[in-house]
Amino acid sequence: MKRRLTRTFRWSAALLALVIMLIASGCGGSGSTDTLEAIKKRGKLVAGVKYDTKLFGLQDPATGNVEGFDIDIAKALAKKILGDETKVELKEVTSKTRIDMLKNGDIDIIIATMTITEERKEQVDFSDVYFEAGQSLLVKKGSPIAGLESLNKDTKVLTVKGSTSAQNIREKAPDAVILEFENYQDAFTALKAGQGDALTTDNSILLGMQQQDPSFELVGGNFTDEPYGMAIKKGNPEFVKTVNELLKELKDSGEYDKLYEQWMGVKPE
């Protein structure tokens, strides 16, 4: 009888310890400041950015440096959190890989021309909108394509895997042939090689391509609204709050307008 009571006591104690551990992990393991605390403890912000998107995040093959609007936002965030804009590590993401990399803990935040959508909100938390864009079409100058109405079963439209642009163009031009690539530079290279008739993504990204090769132009205007947000792993409200504070500070100080004009060539509307 005594042995049975002892076993029961041990089992109860073990069960109680397990319950306490689960409660603790629930409170702390995915708590509101985990990512922010990890950044401070590490002494470095790890930001997922594009390496192939002129104006936002483009790597210079000669120097290896990555530059753009998103990169400067990442530096500003590092300065806010750690007091030094150089304390940031940039990791390359694509539209296809960025959410998985965030969930896996490979990066702290996505700053990579990411449109805020209801579907994505189920997977990540977003900051306030930090850039307003709209989807458009890029074609060779002299192309008969003038806009969405020109796309039919005989036209090939190039876009990028995992992007809202791919979803949108299928809905808005259901007869067109859609070809998806791993990244924007691959898609643009294919367009220049004549593998497609048009390339579609956000107008801000297409503008960067046009600057690379002025023989291409944007046509048809914008046919969607693409509000960009910075994405953060769910369960980190303090980190989201910090990012939103940064955006407000940049806009209130006028620094946001300076960065926008520096990269886009025009002042924000």
Position 199 scores a pLDDT of 98
CATH of domain 133-226: 3.40.190.10
List alpha helices for 29-85, DSSP H. 34-42, 69-82
| pLDDT given for residue 7 in this prediction | 52
Domains 34-132+228-264 and 133-226 share a fold: yes
Gap between the Cα atoms of 57 and 74, Å rounded: 11
The Cα–Cα gap between 234 and 128 comes to 15
The CATH number given to 34-132+228-264 is: 3.40.190.10
What pLDDT score was predicted for residue 210?
93
Sheet with 198-202: strands ordered across: 177-181, 156-160, 198-202, 135-140, 216-219
E strand segments, the chain:
45-49, 52-53, 57-59, 66-67, 88-92, 109-110, 125-126, 131-133, 135-140, 156-160, 177-181, 198-202, 216-219, 226-228, 231-232
Q: What's residue 120's pLDDT?
A: 96
Quote the CA–CA distance of 73 and 6 in Å, as a whole number.
61
What integer pLDDT is reported at residue 39 of this predicted model? Answer: 97
CB atoms within 10 A of CB 233: 22
Query: Are 113 and 70 a contacting pair, CB within 8 Å?
Result: yes
pLDDT of residue 30: 37
CA angle in degrees (0–180, nearest 5) for 223-224-227? 150
What is the residue extent of each domain of the chain? 34-132+228-264, 133-226
pLDDT of residue 28: 38
10-residue mean pLDDT profile of the chain (269 residues): values are 50 50 41 79 98 94 96 98 98 96 97 96 98 96 96 97 92 96 94 97 93 94 95 97 98 97 86
CA 80 – CA 172 distance, rounded (Å): 41
pLDDT computed for residue 265 by the predictor: 86
Distances in Å between the Cα of 257 and the Cα atoms of 90, 233, 251 are 23, 28, 7
Q: How far apart are CA 166 and CA 223, in angstroms?
A: 13
